[in-house]
Structure 1
Amino acid sequence: MWHKPRLMTAVSDLLLLAGGVALLVAAVIWGAPRLRLFPLNEVLVTHELREVRHSDVQQVLSALLHGNFFTVSPEAIRLSLEQLPWVRRAEVWRKWPARIEVRIEEQQAAAHWGDGQGELVNTFGEVFSAPLTREQPLPRLSGPTGSAGEVLRRYAEFAQLLKPVGVLPAHVALSPRLAWLLKMENGMLVELGREQAKAPIRVRLQRFVEYYPSLSETRHGRPIAVDMRYPNGFALRFPASAVQEVKGKK
């Protein structure tokens, strides 16, 4: 090739042209903000928002939508949006030539979580913090850290088993020792204890459902608690006043 001047000249011209194009592109990208090229003209939120406040979204966008189409950071916007209450996930992308599109997946509350400090459980069994924007008849779940998904799954199972008696759990609690306790809508406590191979939780709750209609027919009235931790039976606890009244009549 060194003995072919014309070829060397052509290669040199090609390299110069490629270099010039690269410099031009770099100059356009670097200089675009200063030359006010490629301005953003529109921001589109693609889904209707029910829980997330529009004012919060606008505040995030107004703080981060500086520069032009190329310099705005979709990732920074996404991370900021996901810090808002009721936002589970956000997606942000550029839409040529002058638009930013935002998709927000809102949290869907399935239950209250814990001791009433504003924590909720979503339908995926994830704990999040957000104020309720309207009245919702949500059950309360509680358990050790990391157990929200399992407690939510068990709540759905318990609610299905209890349908025949028409009373749902208002509170499902899992203790640190992995024992289950239900508080029914009528205030009755149902102690189910720990999962056992010989007497599974499901079987014990089915036994409770079977005998539930007769529980209000006891001579002491309706019990305040039912202990279902026994393999083949259960124990009842009554208000102390009811027991004393019965004792006085003997």
Structure 2
Amino acid sequence: MRPLNATSGQDRLRPLLAQARRLSGRIGNLHHRLAGWPLPRFRSLAIVVLGGTGLYGMTLGGHTTGFVDALATPFGFSIDKIEVSGNDETSEIDILQTLWGTGSQSLVSLDPTAARNAIEAMPWVERAAITKYYPDRVRIELMEHRPYAIWQRGGDFVIVDREGREIVPFTPGRFADLPVIVGVGAPREAAHLIDEMEVVPELRARVKAYIRVADRRWDLRLENGVTIRLPESEPVEALAEIERMDREQGLLSRDIASVDMRLDDRIVIKLTPDALARRNAALEEREKMLKRRKKDNPA
């Protein structure tokens, strides 16, 4: 069997297109000759019905898009009006280019399923509905992904929706106010934690990044650099306790590096290196002072 190639396919297509052009011219002549008939409304209806029936049969018969389009044009079935709605992030020009990329120029040859699949493959599009209105109008209704967070994946940043599906790479400037999530499993689990943090709004407003650890629990990095290490279970209860301590004692405004809430019976606070050095120096000075007192006042 001889393999097919683009050249042989084009050679076979040329006679079909020539036949379509000849038939198109005959249809145009028929329409012109019928122009003098009485009852123009029924005359036009008959042409549309008969022509549309034939074209539909050709489409079902597997004729090429170009062949069907060539026949459909004299009947007024070329796509002249395209209405697009629901596109906030997807440009209308890109949508039209994608539609034309299906190869259809007429309503008869346009396959709504193929057009929908092509448009739903666009980055921002979650769902699309394609409706044909004869003789010449197409309506495209979109539902787009809603940006929810910026996911740091290694050295890359990607915008994801609430369900954790990737949308587009993040570029500085736009969507900079979205929460930043980090780590494996973060896109899938982030919405649950962020929603629950409605009960600690003051603390939530100070979070710079939500870090998923071993896909089991969360660390929160605050704007001032403090890290809050949360337990696997009941993390929001731990955050409520931290918010209370901060409100009463100014915990998070102190010179600390982290607050570890993972243990049930204690809170572990780690100082910053500078604060630790000052604390050690103060302890050494206190120890020296006690030694001097013992020396000056022996028992």
Does structure 1 retain, via aligned residues, the 8 Å contact 2:69–2:104?
A: no
How many residue pairs align between the two structures?
Answer: 220
In 2, Cα distance between equivalents of 1:169 and 1:106: 27
Per-residue deviation, 1:93: 1.8
Q: Which amino acid aligns with 1:86?
A: W
Give the match's secondary structure for 2:192.
helix
Does structure 2 retain, via aligned residues, the 8 Å contact 1:86–1:130?
A: no
Counterpart in the other structure of 2:38: none
Give the match's secondary structure for 2:142.
strand
Give the match's secondary structure for 1:194.
coil
For 1:186-225, list aligned pairs within 5 A.
186-195=224-233, 200-214=234-248, 216=250, 221-225=254-258
TM-score, normalised to structure 1's length? 0.75
Structure 1 residues 84 and 149: CA distance shift in structure 2, 3 A:
same
Counterpart in the other structure of 1:19: none
In 2, Cα distance between equivalents of 1:88 and 1:130: 16
Does structure 2 retain, via aligned residues, the 8 Å contact 1:66–1:72?
A: yes
Does structure 1 retain, via aligned residues, the 8 Å contact 2:260–2:268?
A: yes
Counterpart in the other structure of 2:85: 46
Q: Which amino acid aligns with 1:138?
A: L
Give the match's secondary structure for 2:156.
coil
Give the match's secondary structure for 2:188.
helix
| 1:202-228 CA distance string (max 9 Å, x none) | 22221111112355469x933121001
Counterpart in the other structure of 1:58: 96
In 2, Cα distance between equivalents of 1:163 and 1:202: 11
Structure 1 residues 67 and 53: CA distance shift in structure 2, 3 A:
closer
In 1, Cα distance between equivalents of 2:162 and 2:137: 32
Per-residue deviation, 1:32: 5.1
Counterpart in the other structure of 1:123: 162
Structure 1 residues 73 and 118: CA distance shift in structure 2, 3 A:
farther
TM-score, normalised to structure 2's length? 0.64
In 1, Cα distance between equivalents of 2:55 and 2:196: 61
Structure showing the higher helix proportion among its residues: 2
Give the match's secondary structure for 1:170.
strand
In 2, Cα distance between equivalents of 1:230 and 1:94: 62
Structure 1 residues 175 and 153: CA distance shift in structure 2, 3 A:
same
Asked if 1:244 corresponds to 2:277, the answer is: yes
Per-residue deviation, 1:141: 1.4
Asked if 1:82 corresponds to 2:109, the answer is: no
Q: Which amino acid aligns with 1:237?
A: K
Per-residue deviation, 1:90: 1.7
In 2, Cα distance between equivalents of 1:217 and 1:144: 30
User: Which of the residues 97, 108, 115 maps onto 2:146?
Assistant: 108
| 1:38-89 CA distance string (max 9 Å, x none) | 2222111023x33212332232123225242121122222222222232222
In 2, Cα distance between equivalents of 1:217 and 1:142: 25
Identity %: 20
Runs of 5+ in structure 1 lacking a partner? 1-22
Q: Which amino acid aligns with 1:39?
A: S
Does structure 1 retain, via aligned residues, the 8 Å contact 2:84–2:92?
A: no
CA RMSD of aligned residues (A): 2.8
Counterpart in the other structure of 1:15: none
User: Which of the residues 69, 77, 89 maps onto 1:33?
Assistant: 69
Give the match's secondary structure for 2:114.
helix
Per-residue deviation, 1:25: 7.4
Asked if 1:93 corresponds to 2:95, the answer is: no
Per-residue deviation, 1:111: 0.8
Asked if 1:156 corresponds to 2:183, the answer is: no
